[in-house]
Amino acid sequence: MPLRPPLPDPISEQATAVQAAQWLRELVRFVGPGFHPDTPFSDYVNTAGGSPSFTAAQCEVLELGLKQAWTILSNAGVDVYAAALTAQRRMLSKEF
């Protein structure tokens, strides 16, 4: 089983849209290609055994980071769903 990439570093509230988009790409890499912006991180489970994919502490960090990235990207006119989908496509095609 491949190792999960490291948890993305927290994103600053003062981050630029470019930095927020990079954070979102790191998030997709961390969660995997099944990431969806509307899915709470506590809802992700390992298919083998059904245990949670993330600890409560990780969920808290990820939810806050996604909220901050969402705000930054939305304020810059970036569609978060499209940005996440682009990151997923790159990940799946090994261009990530």
Domain ranges of the chain: 17-92
For the chain, 96 residues long, give each residue's pLDDT as a single digit of tens. Answer: 456 778 888 888 899 999 999 999 999 989 988 999 999 999 999 888 889 999 999 999 999 999 999 999 999 999 999 999 998 998 888 754
Residue 78's SS3 state is: coil
pLDDT at 1: 46
pLDDT at 92: 87
- pLDDT tens-digit map of 24-41: 999 998 998 899 999 999
pTM: 0.85
- Token pair of 87, please? 């990151």
Adjacent-strand bridge partners of 45: 52
